[in-house]
Amino acid sequence: EVQLVESGGVVVQPGGSLRLSCAASGFTFDDHTMHWVRQAPGKGLEWVSLVSWDGGSTYYADSVKGRFTISRDNSKNSLYLQMNSLRTEDTALYYCASAMSSYMDVWGKGTTVTVSS
């Protein structure tokens, strides 16, 4: 079964750091570009970042550029998001998604990040 499982979401104080993980199974992980997408409570979807199949190219939304770092370990079929200098507006459900081309065809169920003092 094709599956993505996110983990690492917790409650963290403003200014803090956190690393999210996404474990992939059931498909050839290193054939796929990987994305992080977030959804603040009651709000729409916001794209966060993507990493190419080999980790050689990364892209970020302006809202997280310079604070978040996306990476992957193809030997572990895993995707990561290092989140630094967290702000209250980073509070959201974070999804990882895989993409063979320009579209995200498989999504995880998400992990919740809450930034609050």
Partner 1 sequence: QSVLTQPPSASGTPGQRVTISCSGSSSNIGGNTINWYQQLPGTAPKLLIYINDQRPSGVPDRFSGSKSGTSASLAISGLQSGDEADYYCAAWDDSLNGYVFGTGTKVTVL
**Where does this chain bind partner 1 (CB under 8 A)?**
35, 37, 44-47, 50, 59-62, 95, 97, 101-105, 107-110
Helix (H) or strand (E) holding 58: strand 58-60
CB of 104 to partner 1, least distance (A): 6
Bridge partners (DSSP) listed for residue 12: 115
Q: Are 48 and 81 in contact (CB under 8 A)?
A: yes
Nearest to 34 by CA among 20, 44, 24, 42: 24
Residue 29 CB, nearest approach to partner 1 (Å): 18
Of 42 and 75, nearer to partner 1 (C-beta) is 42
The DSSP secondary-structure symbol of 16 reads -
Separation between Cα atoms, residue 25 and residue 33, nearest integer Å: 14
Location of structure tokens 């409570």: 41
CB of residue 14 to partner 1, shortest distance in Å? 23
Closest contact distance (angstroms) between CB of 1 and partner 1 is: 14
Q: What do you get for the CA distance between the two ends of the chain, in Å?
A: 39
Which residue's CB is nearer to partner 1, number 75 or number 101? 101
Nearer to partner 1, 84 or 107 (CB): 107
Q: Which is nearer to partner 1, 50 or 83 (CB)?
A: 50
